[in-house]
Amino acid sequence: MGFLFWVEIEADAAPRAVAEQVPGEGEYSGVPEIRVEELKQRLDAGENLFLLDVRDEYEYEISNIGGQLIPLAELSKRVNELDANLIIVTICKMGSRGKKAAQVLHKAGFTHVLNLTGGIHAWSDRVDRTVRKY
């Protein structure tokens, strides 16, 4: 599995290291992603996005941003609970389970699925610091 590392510098934020999987490398490459800032803008604009939190229940109880909880381990058995016509944003702690969940949904025929890059930790770092990190 290959990774690229670089430092992002945002106008009002400290530099931070970012790692992304190299396209074509590893099992979960090619999953469409959305950055936390874009998700926040789209939600604030009233866009109808379905937030799917794929963490475990105890993690969801620690902190969440209001998504529907379906743990990754249960997702393949519960895809029928989801509306394939909606844009689904998968959310996890840091992004890797969200990628897996997006892939499960793509295999089940869902075409409008995005993974939240960096997961709830990125949301806490760059959108809402009141969301607890764990």
Domain map (residue ranges) of the chain: 1-27, 31-126
pLDDT given at position 30: 82
Question: Which tens digits make up the pLDDT trace of 93-105?
Answer: 999 999 999 999 9
Which pLDDT tens digit goes with each residue over 7-57? 344 444 444 333 343 333 333 458 999 999 999 999 999 999 999 999 999
Q: Which CATH number fits domain 31-126: 1.10.10.10, 1.10.3720.10, 3.40.250.10, 2.60.40.1120?
A: 3.40.250.10
pLDDT at 61 over 80: yes
Q: Give the pTM.
A: 0.79
Are 106 and 133 in contact by the 8 Å Cβ rule? The answer is no
% of the chain exceeding 90 in pLDDT: 78
% helix / strand / coil in the chain, to the nearest 5?
Answer: 35, 20, 45
